[in-house]
Amino acid sequence: MPRSGAEARNELFRAAWRGPHVAVTAAAVGSGPKTLGTREARDKLLEVEGLRVAYGAILALRGVTLSVGKGEVVALIGANGAGKSSTLRAVSGMLRPAAGQIRLEGENITGLKSNLLVPKGMAHAPEGRGIFLNLTVQENLELGAYLRRDAAGIEKDAEYCFKLFPQLRERRKQVCATLSGGEQQMLAISRALMSHPKLLLMDEPSLGLAPQLVETIFRTLREVNQRGVSILLVEQNAHLALSLAHYGYVLETGEVVMAGPGRELLASPEVRRAYLGE
């Protein structure tokens, strides 16, 4: 039976980590992830420590520790099933961790539900977009701002989203089920931005999109970050993610096996062999 691209990539990824480089990763000898380079000093926005997530008997995360600094873009890369989405879901309160601690600006937010995290400045654009397909573009944007009372600010932010993605302005009265995949992704990002977040959790923004659209989305994420929003980005396209990210983590079967500045991870032989087919 022919294998899917994702299966082939997973195999490549596993093979790369089984290769000679495994012997030099600290994770392989039980002393934590291999860490490359130095990280720019920043105040901490998000801290995740020893995060464990289980789905029944399946342990998806086996003690993930990572952080996002203020103003930082952090990428989480790894093969299918490594635990990237589970990490985001636990951070955004969509699921309750089995163990570990999550802190936002020093406050313990472990186990808090999404509705309590949004007013604290966290927004999640989940894999599969998470928008309401039976509502219009405008209604989805309004839902993104449902906790806000500053009508003028909401209007200003909607205007900002329409500037980022002019297609959405043209379609503001259109029901979302009729939008293209790319437009739905634009709306998912816009809806998350409407809550005025400090931290944006982005799950697979490139999934299913044509290369030109992917470029637009990533350009927009850079712009959003330059306006001061920190981003924790889960992405299969390691090249794109690490090119954008100040810092990155490599997840393998529920554990961080490697960490470092985006460009240093991009240059590392393990990452290049696993993701860039070298």
Burial class (CB in 10 A: 0-12, 13-18, 19+), 115: exposed
Stretch that binds ligand ATP, among 54-62, 138-146, 175-183, 191-199 (CB under 6 A): 54-62
Q: Is 206 in the site for ligand ATP (CB under 6 A)?
A: no
Alpha-carbon torsion (177, 179, 182, 188), positive or negative: negative
Stretch that binds ligand ATP, among 27-35, 73-81, 168-176, 220-228 (CB under 6 A): 73-81
Q: Is 208 in the site for ligand ATP (CB under 6 A)?
A: no
- Helix 181-193, helix 137-144: angle, nearest 10: 30
| Token pair of 121 as six digits | 């400045």
Q: Give the one residue of 69, 71, 78, 97 binding ligand ATP; rule: CB under 6 A.
A: 78
Q: Is 82 in the site for ligand ATP (CB under 6 A)?
A: yes
DSSP 178: G
What's the rounded Cα separation, in Å, for the pair 106 and 111?
15
Q: Is 55 in the site for ligand ATP (CB under 6 A)?
A: yes
The tokens 């989940």 sit on which residue? Answer: 126
Q: What's the min distance (Å) between Cβ of 207 and ligand ATP?
A: 9
Contact characters 222-241, ligand ATP, x per CB under 6 A: --------------x-----
Q: What's the min distance (Å) between Cβ of 53 and ligand ATP?
A: 8
Q: Is 100 in the site for ligand ATP (CB under 6 A)?
A: no
| Token pair of 249 as six digits | 């983590």
Dihedral over alpha carbons 156, 204, 41, 164 (to 10 degrees)? -20
Q: How many residues bind ligand ATP (CB under 6 A)?
A: 12
Q: Is 15 in the site for ligand ATP (CB under 6 A)?
A: no
Q: Is 80 in the site for ligand ATP (CB under 6 A)?
A: yes
Q: Give the one residue of 8, 24, 58, 147 binding ligand ATP; rule: CB under 6 A.
A: 58
Strand boundaries in the chain, DSSP class E: 34-35, 44-55, 58-69, 73-78, 99-104, 107-108, 122-125, 199-203, 230-234, 247-252, 255-261
Q: What's the min distance (Å) between Cβ of 180 and ligand ATP?
A: 22
Q: Give the one residue of 25, 85, 225, 237 binding ligand ATP; rule: CB under 6 A.
A: 85
**Which residues are near ligand ATP by CB under 6 A?**
55, 58, 60, 78, 80-86, 236
